Structure 1
Amino acid sequence: MTSIRHIGGVPTARQDVVWQPWPQRVAFVLGVILIVRLVSLWFNTTELFFDEAQYWVWGKEPAFGYFSKPPMLAWIIGAFTGVCGDSEFCVRLMSPLMHTATAFAIFVLAAKLFDARTGFWSAIVYATLPAVSLSSTLVSTDVPLLFFWAMALLAFVYFEETGKLKWAVMLGLMLGAGMLSKYAMVYFLPCALIYSFSVSERPHVLGRPGFWLALAIGALIFAPNVVWNLQNQFATVGHTGENIGWDGRLHFARFAEFFGSQFAVMGPILFGIFVVAIFRLIFEGMNRQQLYLLCFSVPVLALIIVQSLLSKAYANWAALTYVAATVLVTDLMVNHIPEWWHRTSMWVHTTVFAMLAIAVAFSTPGSLPLPDNIRPFDRMHGSREAAAELADQVAKGQYSVVMVDNRRLASLMIYYMRERPEKIVSWRWNEVPDDHFELTRAYQDNPGEPVLYMTSRRNPYEIVSQFKDVELLGDTKPPTGFIGHVWFYALRGFAPDGAGAREEG
């Protein structure tokens, strides 16, 4: 067995790298993939999911933080929609664009570590990962996070090799921007330390002033979000802690579910090769480049595996694993193992890419030739119909405010009622807010009457009992969608001391 402690030093570029014409080739192929995704996005018939609608709302309310996430995604969406408009296409536009930028960063990283041909294929493999193909049809915090992580990996390689100030500054900028995208960026620090402890040819990063400068720059960029959390009872930090949810037991079924999901995230062949490579490289030996990539992938995956055992872990929580893992596995497929592994994997990923690009344009129920019980896009419809019914109810009365009682309804109704003047507020259930809308637009903070109340609760006694006059106006149930059955009430006489209605109207 080869000890990784003595494998060597800093990843360096191979001296025989021939760059031309690989940059032009990767730009062309990534450009074709991007064009296909933009056309698909233009014809995408899915409505925004409630998380996407919430991010859009955040983008309209610039701040240094939000209840469940730091602000980078909201800023980017705000910038795009400020220029492009507020359609679903414009809200999601940043995803295919940023994934393309991430793929190009991976090209440069892999070319630096191995050669330009490996860089080319690493970029294409990343761009066609099943998770990236799916993510390009949506908008999520993982999109900017992956970009800044890839750029940080690239900056760290150059900083390790040269020690130059400009790379320390770039590393700090990427760390700070990544932390403003998602707190998972903090994984970069332990990964960097593990790598530095595993090599011996250069001084440890903790003994190098440039690394501390990078950390200081990152902390300075991240500081406004820390201040925002201080001013808002550490809302984002608390939400992140609640998501961890350890209960002192081991959950092997959840671990199996998470681990199995990674074959879909990275692709069955790629993830299989990655898992085998982890053990073979550790026990049979590895070069410096492979060590670097393992140090920035395995610790992240291991941490989320532990999380899945102790509580739960969603499939995308290990997303940062697959920047370095993609380069590692691509190098193995292109340069070390039979070519048919690479060809088969690319065929699978290209098929998934094409199917998703076509499917989202035919997402309305009945448009795809699938059995009735297989309706993959059902949750992405129905919100527009529910908003139209809400608008009809508003038109029938003179209401001071429209109130909902959960963030799903709040985000979707705010988005799909965006052309109307009515203010939509949220009922705050507890003294401490449970979501962004309870934090920023709680009805109790500025009560108005009469209230048009929209709820997905069949018997919302806890709320209607706080009003003296309660009238059930009607209900609606879109045939598809995440919203489901909703009811409408007219409420008057807000009495928060509990002296309101004793029966549901």
Structure 2
Amino acid sequence: MSVTPASDSSTWLNRFWWLLAAVFIARIGVMLLFVNGADLAGDEAYYWDWGRRPDWCYYSKPPMIGWMMGVIGALTGNAEWGIRFAALLLGTATLVIIHRIALVLFDARTAFLAAVLVLLTIANAGLNLLLTIDAPLLLCWTLGLLLFWLAAQKPTCNTRWLALALVIGFGTLSKQMMLAFPALMLVFAAVSREDRALLRNPRMWLAILCGMAFIIPVLQWNQNHAWITLEHTKHHFDTSSLSFGRWLSRTGENVGLQALIYTPVTFAALVAAMIAAVKLRKQLSRPLLFVMLASAPALACFALLALRQRINPNWPAAFFVPAFILAAAWLRGFAPFKLHPGWERWSLRVGGALVLIVHLALVIIFSTELKGIDKLASLRGWQEAGIEAQEFLDLVPEPENTFVMALGHRYHAAEMAFYMPSHPRVYRWEPSDTVQSQYEIWPGPEERIGSDALILEPGPVAALLQNVVFTTAFEKIEYRGNIRIPLGKETREFSVYLARNLKSWKPVGSSIKAPDKTSQEGIQERR
């Protein structure tokens, strides 16, 4: 099949920009409804709390998401809409770059198709609503693909290699997955005959080394904290023996989730395009070889890993980006592929229907009383709970000498920190006495000796009064009441206590804490 004639290129480019503008405006509307009807997800509030204490790494992730949250909070006054709008901007920028890659590799019509295929997925809808670590990673990954191709086209251009090095570096600071990007570059240079000279090009090696050098402060931070991020990451690969039936169910769940978030027919087209490309690899043009090598080998590895353990749907997300571009070229019938008009038609129909259903559901749910359904309980009630917690804090005898502590899941501390109007520093108690979140890495209540504590315990039962850890740490503890937010059949509930005069506190996971001179001096002064 021939490429799009030059006379039609401007038409397809105009269609893309008009489509992008329409989708952006529509998603702003959905975002505002979402902000009005749902609170921050637990991870979003957790990362926002990271942003208030910038560092070179955090418990489970590199620092970029924390830095971004800090900037967003400073620019928007810690407004919820700022976080949602940042997700929309990052998702839109990623889509523009995907379109640009396909345009550079193939033609305007293929680029339009690739962008539409991505748009018509549930995964893309989620990426534009929730701000997680995948948003900056995918932006860096797609920009890295574009810059590497442009650098390979003009291997003596220092500016392109420098830009690529920076993107690799920022991607590495976003998520550990970016460390796989240099391997992708080397594989393409080794396999593509036209590009093997890149292996002798010092600019490519310098770009790789300079980009990966961004990980050095992250490694230094981990060295000072007993490699806690590595220990956390290792748990993702823990597995246990299962019966054949449960193994089959888990494997089917892995495949089913991927098919759902990328829509079934489009997912089938992605797989079919990669299989066809691998079979015809010796006949592939250089652009097709590039997107095939950037997607198929890694996704095949994830498929094998899925036979061993449960796979989070977002893990292979970066490798699906070039897979969508490959699928668009396959659907368009670029040689040596054959034209498959039925695939394109049904992929767009099914994808469009599912995404339309998802967006209509969001509009209906968050603009009506349906937002009270139990399945959304985790995204509701935090704002009201935070306001009530603030009222309790305002009524204590010495608010300026009272800190807040939340028990239970790390999300409890993060959501209270965000939704209490004063945005206090919220501490967390970990009963296992091991580091389970960033809250155990930061200095704990040991830096507040002599202070009072407003303690929020999840649940309606006043159990803290019998907890020896707290009854011995404080001079006395008073039960002050409870916070109760009805959520349909569910209820968000906390018991509230005022603990007077913290006498002592054993730091959790003290063996991994780096000495904090300021905190230690403050403790001595209060003593």
Verify same fold: TM over 0.5: yes
The match for 2:518 is none
Q: Name the counterpart of 1:4.
A: none
Distance 1:306 1:447 in 2: 52
Q: CA offsets per residue over residues 216-274 of structure 1, 9 Å max, x none?
A: 22023333333333333333333222333245779543332111111012111111112
Note if contact 1:403-1:427 (Cα within 8 Å) is conserved in structure 2.
Answer: yes
Task: State the alpha-carbon separation in 2 of the partners of residues 237 and 300 from structure 1.
Answer: 21
Distance 1:411 1:152 in 2: 33
Cα distance in 1 for partners of 2:216, 2:15 equals: 40
**Cα distance in 2 for residues equivalent to 1:129 and 1:480:** 30
Relative distance call for 1:366 and 1:38 in structure 2 (3 A) is closer
2:194 aligned counterpart, secondary structure: coil
Displacement of 1:58: 2.1
Residue 74 of structure 1 is aligned with which of 66, 77, 86?
A: 66
Distance in 1 separating the partners of 2:177 and 2:160: 22
Corresponding residue of 1:315:
313
Give the TM-score normalised by structure 2.
Answer: 0.82
- 2-side partners of 1:24 and 1:142: how far apart? 29
CA shift, 1:466, in A, is 3.9
1:154-206 deviation line (CA, Å, top 9, x unaligned): 11212223213222222211111111111111222333333333333332644
Is 1:454 matched with 2:451?
no
Alignment partner, residue 297 of structure 1: 295
Alignment match, 2:410: 407
- In 1, distance between residues paired with 2:423 and 2:141? 40
Q: 1:196 and 2:195 equivalent?
A: no
Give a deviation string over 1:262-290, Cα, whole Å, max 9, x none.
Answer: 10121111111122233333234551333
Alignment of 1:144-293 (within 5 A): 144-164=136-156, 165-203=158-196, 205-247=198-240, 251-285=247-281, 286-288=283-285, 289-293=287-291
Show the counterpart of 1:394.
Answer: 393
Q: TM-score, normalised by structure 1?
A: 0.86
Check the 8 A contact 1:454/1:486 in 2, yes or no. Answer: yes
% same residue: 25
After TM superposition, give the deviation of residue 314 of structure 1 in Å.
1.1
**Displacement, 1:441?**
4.4
CA distance in 2, matches of 1:129, 1:421: 36
Q: Structure 1: where are the runs of 5+ without partners?
A: 1-12, 499-505
Q: Provide the C-alpha distance between the structure 1 equivalents of 2:24 and 2:359, rounded to a whole number of angstroms.
A: 11
Question: d(CA) in 2 for partners of 1:22 and 1:208?
Answer: 37
Q: Aligned-pair distance for 1:85?
A: 3.3
Counterparts in 2 of 1:17 and 1:107: CA distance versus 1, 3 Å? farther
1:424–1:201 CA distance, 2 compared to 1 (3 A) = closer
- 2:20 — aligned with what? 30
Structure 1 partner of 2:80: 88
Q: Secondary structure at the match of 1:300?
A: helix
Residues 458 and 493 in structure 2, CA contact (< 8 A), matched pair in contact too: yes
Count of residue correspondences: 482
Q: Specify which structure has the higher proportion of helix.
A: 2
The SS at the match of 2:195 is: coil
Amino acid at match of 1:413: M
Name the structure 2 match of 1:8. none
Task: Specify the alignment match of 2:29 in structure 1.
Answer: 39
Q: Which moved more, 1:376-385 or 1:201-210?
A: 201-210
After superposition, residues 376-395 of structure 1 pair within 5 angstroms as: 376-395=375-394
> Which residue of 2 is the match for residue 349 of structure 1?
351
The verdict on how the C-alpha distance between 1:81 and 1:403 changes in structure 2, with shifts beyond 3 A counting, is closer
- Quick one: distance in 1 between partners of 2:447 and 2:264? 51
Match of 1:471 among 443, 458, 478: 478
Distance, in Å, in 2 between the alignment partners of 1:124 and 1:448 is 60
Q: Which amino acid aligns with 1:114?
A: F
Which one scores higher on RCO, CA 8 angstroms, separation ≥ 6? 1
C-alpha distance in structure 2 between counterparts of 1:116 and 1:23, whole Å: 6
Query: How large is the Cα RMSD of the aligned pairs?
Result: 3.0
1:60 pairs with one of 45, 49, 52: 52
The answer (yes or no) to whether the contact 1:54–1:412 under 8 Å persists in 2 is yes
Distance 1:116 1:431 in 2: 58
Write the distance in 2 (CA, Å) between the matches of 1:232 and 1:367: 47
Structure 1 483/287 Cα, relative in aligned 2: closer, same or farther at 3 Å? Answer: farther
* Contact 1:244/1:307, CA 8 A, preserved across alignment: no
Q: Aligned equivalents of 1:17 and 1:244: distance in 2?
A: 50
Indicate how the Cα distance of structure 1 residues 310 and 150 shifts in structure 2: closer, same or farther if over 3 A, else same: same
Q: Distance in 2 between matches of 1:172 and 1:56?
A: 28
Amino acid at match of 1:221: F
CA distances 1:298-317 after superposition (whole Å, capped 9, x unpaired): 23323333443333321111
What letter is aligned with 2:45? Answer: A
Structure 1 residue 376, shift from structure 2 partner = 4.1
Specify whether residues 217 and 201 from structure 1 end up closer, same or farther in structure 2 by C-alpha distance, changes over 3 A only: same
Cα gap change, 1:99 to 1:438, in 2 (>3 Å): same
Query: What is the one-letter code of the residue matched to 1:237?
Result: L
Q: Which amino acid aligns with 1:263?
A: A
CA distance in 1, matches of 2:236, 2:446: 27
Q: After TM superposition, give the deviation of residue 16 of structure 1 in Å.
A: 6.7
Give the Cα separation in 1 of the matches to 2:295 and 2:439.
Answer: 35
Letter in 1 for 2:327: V
User: Per-residue deviation at 1:123?
Assistant: 1.8
Number of the residue aligned with 1:7: none
Whether contact under 8 Å (2:198, 2:204) holds in the other structure is yes
Q: Secondary structure at the match of 1:43?
A: helix
Secondary structure at the aligned position of 2:58 is classed as coil
Of residues 276-285 and 151-160 in structure 1, the stretch that sits farther from structure 2 once superposed is 276-285
The alpha-carbon distance between structure 1 residues 357 and 15, as it changes in their structure 2 partners (threshold 3 A), is closer
Partner of 1:65: helix, strand, or coil? coil
Gaps of 5+ in 2: 507-527
